[in-house]
């Protein structure tokens, strides 16, 4: 199948950010008219068996984390999300030369999106989530149609996994994988393998298996991308890297800068609603090792005409009922319907300015959240309805 130009995930390390936090961002580009919902799933004990998108696996015997997910409404898994242990994950489609047997992505196994959700539900740190994903990948494999209505849409996956202190890139080919720990600076992944010779963790006997598959000569330096890649979108990868370099040059990178990256049209990172493969949802997260973590989601297509809505994990946290899809053929949630009408309207520039104004107000209110909590100017419980209230503010502007 042809390569699909879709999805980008980014991370900027604390050394380059305004507040010394990890800043994560992802655009999820998906098939036209596929609805992406944002839901909150409270953690706790679960039944012993878990039905994922296509297959049933054993549930973890441990307590499952609470998660907020941005997900295609038809599948169990998620394109991106966060958990209450301050872990975030996003995935990318990649295509490799390992496409037979356990590497055959046409077979219904775990989707890459299932692995995102499983990593968040079971992982208590970035490395822990990495270990969860790789163990499940090795046990069950990956594969199956990644579109509800197009069974030719299948692929292997790469992942960017972060917590307030660490970030990892995980890239896969069938049940084989390599992971690189990001030591400093910034990193982005698009739709191609990027791990070369710096491999900090890998699947068992990876080099021996690559040699047995005649992908490595056994003598030259082992390069994961050189061995397994069958192509990718180098242009968007390089353009994203340029944006991160430019916006982090003064070591003051912040959430609003990541909004700008995800809204960039010239690079192809942001794809419009009428594109064949539009940006159907976006996430930005600020991860602090000493304070409160804030996660921002659009729940609507094309971030350049969408409103990033904030969420904070608190015991009584809620998301808006208007971002959850109903169980009906089109699965269009209320916010999605309003957004669709707004995008197709002739005069929407004024409303876009209003939406950006609301967004800036929430950014300003949350900029000093840690200081305000420390000085007893607010309590964590004050943020339980944060996403619900921001969604209602957006709905009022779109109606």
CA pair distance 388, 232, nearest whole angstrom = 38
User: Quick count: other Cβ atoms within 10 Å of Cβ 365?
Assistant: 14
> Cβ of 294: how many Cβ atoms within 10 Å?
24
In degrees and rounded to multiples of 5, residue 204 shows phi and psi of: -60, 135
Q: Are 379 and 336 in contact (CB under 8 A)?
A: no
Beta strand extents in 264-357 (DSSP E only): 279-287, 294-297, 309-311
Terminal Cα-to-Cα distance of the chain (whole angstroms)? 41
Burial 88-115 (b: 16+ CB within 10 A, else e): bbbbbbbbbebeeeebebeeebbbbbbb
Alpha carbons within 13 A on the beta-carbon side of 335: 31
Q: Which residue among 7, 52, 146, 270 is the active-site one? A: 7
What 3-state DSSP class applies to 100?
coil
C-alpha of 74 from chain center? 17
Q: Is 7 a catalytic residue?
A: yes
Instruction: Supply the residues annotated as catalytic.
Output: 7
């Amino acid at each position: 199948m042809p390569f699909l130009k879709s999805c980008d995930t980014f991370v900027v390390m604390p050394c380059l950010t305004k507040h010394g936090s990890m800043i994560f961002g992802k655009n999820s580009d998906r098939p036209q008219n596929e609805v992406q919902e944002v839901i909150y799933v409270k953690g706790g004990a679960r039944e012993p068996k878990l039905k994922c998108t296509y297959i049933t696996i054993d549930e973890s015997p441990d307590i499952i984390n609470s998660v907020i997910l941005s997900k295609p409404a038809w599948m169990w898994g998620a394109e991106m999300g966060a958990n209450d242990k301050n872990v975030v994950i996003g995935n990318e489609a990649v295509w490799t030369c390992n496409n037979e047997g356990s590497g055959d992505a046409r077979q219904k196994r775990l989707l890459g999106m299932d692995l995102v959700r499983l990593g968040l539900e079971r992982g208590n740190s970035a490395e822990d989530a990495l270990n969860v994903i790789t163990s499940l990948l090795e046990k069950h494999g990956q594969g199956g149609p990644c579109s509800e209505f197009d069974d030719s849409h299948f692929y292997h996956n790469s992942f960017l996994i972060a917590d307030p202190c660490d970030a990892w890139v995980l890239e896969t080919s069938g049940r084989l994988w390599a992971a690189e720990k990001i030591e400093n600076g910034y990193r982005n992944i698009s739709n191609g393998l990027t791990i070369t010779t710096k491999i900090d963790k890998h699947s068992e006997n990876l080099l021996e298996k690559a040699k047995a598959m005649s992908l490595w000569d056994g003598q030259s330096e082992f390069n994961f991308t050189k061995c397994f890649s069958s192509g990718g979108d180098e242009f968007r990868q390089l353009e994203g890297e340029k944006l991160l370099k430019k916006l982090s040059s003064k070591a003051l990178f912040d959430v609003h800068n990541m909004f700008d990256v995800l809204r960039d049209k010239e690079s192809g990172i942001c794809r419009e609603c009428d594109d064949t493969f539009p940006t159907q949802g976006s996430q930005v997260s600020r991860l602090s090792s000493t304070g409160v973590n804030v996660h921002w989601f659009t729940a609507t297509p094309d971030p350049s005409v969408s409103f990033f809505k904030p969420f904070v994990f608190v015991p009584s946290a809620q998301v808006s009922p208007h971002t959850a899809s109903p169980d009906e053929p089109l699965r269009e949630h209320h916010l999605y319907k309003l957004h669709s009408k707004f995008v197709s309207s002739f005069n929407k520039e004024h409303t876009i300015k209003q939406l950006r104004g609301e967004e800036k107000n929430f950014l300003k209110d949350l900029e000093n959240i840690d200081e305000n909590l420390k000085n007893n100017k607010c309590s964590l419980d004050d943020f339980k309805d944060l996403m619900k209230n921001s969604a209602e503010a957006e709905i009022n502007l779109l109606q």
